Amino acid sequence: MRAVSDLSELGPLAIIAVGVLVVLLVLRRWADAAFFVAGVGVVWMVNPLLKELAGRPRPDHLPLAESVSEYSFPSGHAANTAALVGSLVMILRSRRARAVGAVVGAAALLLVGYSQLELGRHYPSDLLAGWLWAGVWIGLVAWIRSRWRARLPGSRREVGRT
């Protein structure tokens, strides 16, 4: 489980995010790049502030590595992974790709959550809070994106508008 936890640290997630961003920029999908950065970036920047505000200590039944931050609520692993998965699913173009991405992403989120519980780094409510707040944020970004896309000339949703 330590390997799963290590892969869901911010460093490896950032490498994936930068790779996705580069692909979007090479494909000239400027708007998708902006919405992707908004989805991932805000969660990654705000979560440490939420931990400081909540100030909830980590479970103390297992010794933790010194590199682990003092606070546990909301889980950064849960929120950061949810933000990346949600942002990826949001920018996928086909319905099938979004469905597959959502299923694979949900499995990844559960695996990351289990790893954090198994390693004694979080309470279940830490994980739920991380998933919930990241999900709400990504939902808001996706809603804004859909409203923006509906206003584009030639949009299917624009047909019939006066």
Query: Which residues constitute the domain of residue 104?
Result: 2-58+70-149
Look at residue 159 and tell me if it is in a domain: no
Look at residue 101 and tell me if it is in a domain: yes
Number of structural domains in the chain: 1
Look at residue 157 and tell me if it is in a domain: no
Mean pLDDT rounded to a whole number for the chain: 86
Q: How far is 100 from 121, CA to CA, in rounded Å?
A: 29
User: Which two tokens mark 44?
Assistant: 């990654």
Look at residue 154 and tell me if it is in a domain: no
Look at residue 158 and tell me if it is in a domain: no
Q: Do residues 78 and 116 touch, judged by C-beta distance below 8 A?
A: yes
Q: Both ends of the chain: CA-CA distance in Å?
A: 56
**107-157 tens-digit pLDDT:** 999 999 998 888 888 889 999 999 999 999 999 999 999 998 888 776 565
| Helices and strands: H and E segment counts in the chain | 6, 0
Question: Taking the model in full, what pTM does it have?
Answer: 0.83
